[in-house]
Amino acid sequence: MTTSTSGITQTSRVLPLTATLLTGTVALYIALVAFGNITDFGTNQQFVRHVLAMDDTFKDDDLMWRAVTSKGLQDAAYVAIIAWETVAAVVLTAGTWFWARRDLARAHTFSTYGLLMLMLLFGAGFIAIGGEWFSMWQSKTWNGLEAATRVFVLSGIVLLVDLLAYREARRDTAA
């Protein structure tokens, strides 16, 4: 690590920039996902309906009792997903704004909450509940596990970068 005359490392300058850009990237991504789900409501509505209905699984009698066939409940789940995505996008946008302003405490807080929201949605919601409880992995057509894993991993990596940037910047300001 190279140190400037002020004692601040090059890493402590680069990490907040990296956190800003990566948090902004995830904020943009999830904002576009939410926007797409709102403006093209029917496409992913069908996806959620098929996953919850388990109509493209192996139809094992030991599992089919889990199926949710009520269109009202399916649509409520889909609207909840869109609302969660929208709030996460707003929180991550705020986190990006605070990183850009070098307001480290707020940047860290908002980014952490927004990224954890996505990890919960895509990890617990899509991978665990959709993938395992509703056996989405059995479907050749309605299987979103690869996409969910991609978002979960991306969010986790950005969370680690944000945590490193916050820790490093705090250490430099304390020195």
What CA–CA distance (Å, rounded) separates 105 from 98?
8
- For residue range 137-175, list pLDDT tens digits in order: 999 999 999 999 999 999 999 999 999 999 998 888 777
What CA–CA distance (Å, rounded) separates 75 from 57?
20
Q: Taking a C-beta distance cutoff of 8 angstroms, is the pair 107, 19 a contact?
A: yes
Q: Taking a C-beta distance cutoff of 8 angstroms, is the pair 75, 84 a contact?
A: no
Rounded (10°) angle between helices 145-174 and 104-119: 160
User: Across-strand partners of 9?
Assistant: 3
Q: What is the DSSP letter of 6?
A: T
- For residue range 13-43, list pLDDT tens digits in order: 899 999 999 999 999 999 999 999 999 999 9
Q: Taking a C-beta distance cutoff of 8 angstroms, is the pair 81, 59 a contact?
A: no
- For residue range 108-131, list pLDDT tens digits in order: 999 999 999 999 999 999 999 999
